[in-house]
Amino acid sequence: MTSVDCDVAVIGAGIVGSAIARDVAGSDLRVVLIEGRADVGDGTSKANTAILHTGFDAKPGTLESRMVSRGYRLLSDYAAQTGIPVEPTGAILVAWDAEQLEALPGLKEKAEANGYQRCEIVDAAAVYAELPHLGPGALGGLTVPDESIICTWTVNLALATDAVNRGATLLTDHRVASIEVGDESTTLHTERGTAITARWVVNAAGLGADHLDALFGYHRFTVTPRRGELIVYDKLARALVDKIVLPVPTARGKGVLISPTIYGNVMLGPTSEDLQDRTATGTSEAGFEFLLDKGRRLMPALLAEEVTATYAGLRAAIDHGDYLIEADPVQRYLLVGGIRSTGLTAGMAIAEYVRDVLASAGLASPQRTDLPAPPRMPNLGEAFPRPYQQDELIAADPAYGRVVCFCERVTEGEIRDACQSVIPPATLDGLRRRTRAMNGRCQAFYCGAEVQELFESRSHTPPALTSSPESQP
């Protein structure tokens, strides 16, 4: 049996868990980041709607509101440092009936209460001037000029890579099966037979957060997997919409939106369906019918475009109106639950908050002065230069000129780099999230065999422990 000792064990390597591990690893504390799946960001985080939110529509005074507002600034700065692609497209909430129109002043006031002052109420003519392909019948709208689209895959990978570079140990494919709480530490036993002994445990397990919470004796919330299905349209549809088209939100959620993506596509969705099965990420006929019905009203011209892909993700909805971040100093246990889809934007702010909570509970450690520079991530954004477009890069390394995936213009050099990175992909899906290979309109029909051959020839079975180069034997 393998054993690992640390000061802080963070369970869950999605965006929030990776952000926490990165932040805590910026001190002298020993950190282990534990993920039950084979790769970081392979759960809820990979199927986010990929919008960098201003937090304009959060409930004022909540922890979520504070974290999203702060996280927007932190992630915007971090994206500039690391090369995470961001496009500041702006957004418009569209009112389709009198009730929604009457709700716009209240939404503007809510935005201002959240510290966001740039929303403006506009009439129907202004809406159609910005969105000429919108369906008929819009009565007005609310502009949110600072909403942006972002690559959620790169955010997650950058944070996890940064954590490892700072000295954190990453254990993938290590699902926690049981715990033993001692007087001064807790031992986590994984299904792989590894025992991780930690002074503090942080539960950022997303869909499994309530089950893990129960291992510490709590029954304070229940996670309900909420399936969101989406339709992704071909890049030729991008000319129809260059802004995020939002519905007027309801108590259930933000509703169905139309959004350009950082990869050059257009996305319609998501649905919102509460399930019991926490693995049910398959799409459904009913979901597609629902989305197509919504799409016919929102933007009929979009439905004439070709569909590149469909997918579904599960959000960790809980029976609680706010983020649930609570510490148990006796058991040295911190719950980070109910983060929902806003965790993409709020993740780095949540990490700051967790650091302060741990410090107030007695686990304070000064920030190191010898931190490595943030990792520079490969660009997956269509609006920014890609390797196949850079003559100097190709001249220095011809592998960047050999296109393997023609739909997405992914080169052999990019696949090689991903396989040799700090956190290499363990599967072809992991490679897809790092390069866009097989993510285009042919969905790997033409390139799948060659990409798989390259992946298998250049990758290796990742070790059970992935840590910074300095800490490896």
Query: pLDDT (tens digit, 9 = 90+) per residue, 22-60?
Result: 999 999 999 999 999 999 999 989 888 899 999 999 999
What is the average pLDDT across 156-171?
98
> What pLDDT sits at residue 250?
62
Residue 168: which pLDDT band, with cuts at 50, 70 and 90? very high
pLDDT mean across residues, the chain: 94
**Does residue 377 have a pLDDT over 90?**
yes
- Which DSSP state fits 239? G
**Does residue 468 have a pLDDT over 80?**
no
> What pLDDT sits at residue 254?
67
Please indicate whether residue 71 or residue 472 has the higher confidence score (pLDDT). 71
Residue 108: which pLDDT band, with cuts at 50, 70 and 90? very high
**Does residue 286 have a pLDDT over 80?**
yes
**Does residue 473 have a pLDDT over 70?**
no
> What pLDDT sits at residue 290?
95
Q: Counting beta carbons within 10 angstroms of the beta carbon of residue 211, is it exposed (0 to 12), middle (13 to 18) or buried (19 or more)?
A: middle
What is the average pLDDT across 126-146?
98
Chosen CATH of 1-88+149-222+319-381 out of 3.40.50.10890, 3.40.640.10, 3.30.1490.190, 3.50.50.60: 3.50.50.60
Question: According to DSSP H, which parts of 36-83 are helical?
Answer: 63-82
> What pLDDT sits at residue 470?
38
**Does residue 461 have a pLDDT over 60?**
no
Separation of alpha carbons 294 and 299, rounded Å: 9
pTM confidence score: 0.95
Q: Counting beta carbons within 10 angstroms of the beta carbon of residue 322, is it exposed (0 to 12), middle (13 to 18) or buried (19 or more)?
A: middle
Residue 340: which pLDDT band, with cuts at 50, 70 and 90? confident
- Please give the CATH number for the structural domain made up of 89-148+224-318: 3.30.9.10
Q: At what angle do helices 412-419 and 448-458 cross, to 10 degrees?
A: 40
Domain ranges of the chain: 1-88+149-222+319-381, 89-148+224-318, 387-457
% of residues, the chain, pLDDT over 90:
87
Are 111 and 103 in contact, with CB atoms under 8 Å apart? no
> What pLDDT sits at residue 464?
40
**Does residue 315 have a pLDDT over 50?**
yes
